Structure formats: C-alpha cells, structure tokens
Amino acid sequence: MAERLDPWSNDAVSDYEHLFAEFGIKTLSARERLDHVYFRRGIAVAHRDFDAFVNALRTRKRTYCMTGIASSGRMHIGHMSIIDFVRFFQKQGADTYFAVADIDAYVSRERIQTMEEAKRYALENAAHVLALGVPKKCVYVQSRMPARYYELAFEISKKFTENAFRAIYGHLNPGKMAAVFLQLADILYPQLDGPRIGIVPVALDQDPHIRATRDVAARLPYGFVPPASLYVKHVPALGGPSSKMSSSDPNSAIYLDDTPEVVEQKIKKYAFSGGRDTVDEHRKHGGNPDVDVAFQLLKYFEPSDSKVERVRESYASGKLLTGELKAVTIELMKKFFARHHRRLPAARKIAQKIVYG
C-alpha cells in the first residue's frame, strides 16, 4: 500500500526507497553531495532538481534558499537541520529567507486557539532561529509581510482546482487549505523581483508542498523557476526511530529552551537504546547504532566525522556500552545548550521587533 505523505503528521517516514519511486524523488549523487556533515552522514537523503541549484551556485547565478517553521509550539532540536542548511547556503552565496509561519500555525492547528498565541510562539521560535545564527534580515513572520505577499497567495489559490488539490493533499479543512496557499507564497515570493532557482530544505513529509509549488509556478504569469528541494531525515523521537520529534508531543522531544540539566535527564531516562538486554550480550554481539537515539543525536551535533565513526564502531562491536554512549552525547549537547541559552536574551529583543514591530 502506498504511503501518503502528510505534512501535519507526527509519524516518521518509514520507507524512503518506496517514496522515492512513488513520487519521483531522486537520491543524491556524489557530485551533488556538498561539503557539509549532513551530506557525509546520510542526513540529507534526496532532492528535486538539486543538481540545477548546485550548478547555479557554482556558476554564481542568483539563487535563494527558503524554509521555515509553523509557530505551533516550542522549538525542538528536530528543527535545527533546516536552520543549519539556511546558514550553509547563505555562505555559498544564496539569498536566504526564513519564515516563522504564525498565520499557518493559527489556521491549521486546532490547539492554537488565538492568533496572539501563535504570535507568542513565533516570538520564541524567531529568537531560537536568530540565536542559532540566521541573520535577522532573513527572518520574517507571515502576519507582517507586505500586501503583495498576500496577493500572491490569492493568485496561487486561483490556479488550483479541487481535484488537483485533493490529488496532492487528500481532504483538507479550510484552515489547512489557507495554510498551504501561504506556504506556497513563502516559497515563490523571492522570485517576484526576478525569476531564479531556489532551494527549499525540508523534511521529506513536506514534499506535498514542494510538488504543489512546482506545479503552480509554471501556471503563474511571472516566469517563475520551479523551486528545487533538499530532503533531510527527521531527528528521531526520544522513544525511538519510528516517530519524529514533535512540538505537540512533549515526551518525544528535546526542546531548545530545555536547560542543559533537563537535556541530560531526558537522554538518560528516555532515549531509546540500541543496546542488548545484558552487559554480557552487548559485549558479545554489540549494539545497533542505527536505532540508538543517543547515537543518532551525536550525528547531528558532533562536528568530527572521525569521532562519529569511532563511536559507531565501538558501540557496534560491544566495546562501548549504552550508558557510555549516552554520556558522550550528553557532554556534547550540554555544551551546545549552554552556548545557545547565553545567546537567547539578545535574540529575544530582536525577535520582539520582527514579530510585533
């Protein structure tokens, strides 16, 4: 049975190869794997037209990178990979845009009861994005965009038939339909000052938005270039790789506002282990780093490829026990969170102006 991609689901993608074939998504070639740890470690897994975007970068043509998050809750470390790519592509010469989607969060998430609640989350989300190194000129909220942005969203909505919309998304309520048109406007808005190829780094479950954008780009009267996309694997939930970290499930995630001590506690208590039932069995047969959440987290946070590989080999051989692996990850992540929290107060002041003016 085909696996339908749901941009609003908390379920992790389980069968990548099937989805690549089902939706025409391509795996990354050696030439397309740029000098970034996410390419080397298999975190960036697939794309649409990434080769064309890379060629534009290498020939110094105008390009852009656009992504974002819905301000529907506390930010967690699962959001960091797309933020890392925004910073990376900016250094490669692309103009960058990061949307904090407060209108999207309000209209598409039932638990967000007021627009003001979405804005409060937007302020915190924007602060984290800024503290993680995205320049303030690149960060915006949907509710404070120019009128031309909303006109573009309405123009996009007129290009969809009901059948075409259902073919991509299935049945959606009016709130989610409105959210889709805004997200597509986010992706195409940078091209209103001239057609150029853009890259949208997202998790694979967001591919319906990419397909919809690429489809509508050709039917708008502006000569838009269909955007390229780069798909990254989800950071697994603490409970194991079968689900992803989610802002709406507090037991699944390590949040960016967690203290270093809370991070340590969560990893010790909740991080799913790939180890054996007993120490003797683990020493004899080794652990499974592919399902071990502490090891998966290490892949996102440790800058040294050689250290990641040493840890993998030690754990798989049984030399390194689960508790020892968790200790390695905890030490690294506590240092990161301490640095991040030092940057937050200044970032919140900037975020206040972005969200409220």
- 168 three-class SS: helix
Contact 198, 50 (CB under 8 A): no
* Domain 258-356 classification at class level: mainly alpha
Q: What is the pLDDT of residue 2?
A: 47
pLDDT band at 232 (very low <50, low <70, confident <90, very high): very high
Least Cα distance to 48 among 188, 308, 231 occurs for 231
Contact 229, 199 (CB under 8 A): yes
Q: Which CATH superfamily is domain 16-237 in?
A: HUPs (3.40.50.620)
233-252 pLDDT, tens digit per residue, is 888 899 988 777 877 677 78
270-326 pLDDT, tens digit per residue, is 999 999 999 999 999 999 999 999 999 999 999 999 999 999 999 999 999 999 999
Q: What is the pLDDT of residue 19?
A: 66
> What is the overall mean pLDDT for the chain?
92
pTM, to two decimals: 0.92
Contact 356, 324 (CB under 8 A): no
pLDDT band at 1 (very low <50, low <70, confident <90, very high): very low
Q: What strands lie across the sheet with 197-203, from one edge to the other?
A: 26-27, 44-48, 228-232, 197-203, 63-70, 95-101, 139-141
* Dihedral, 26, 30, 34, 39 alpha carbons, nearest 10: 70
38-64 pLDDT, tens digit per residue, is 999 999 999 999 999 999 999 999 999
The single-letter DSSP state of residue 190 is: G
Q: What are the boundaries of each domain within the chain?
A: 16-237, 258-356
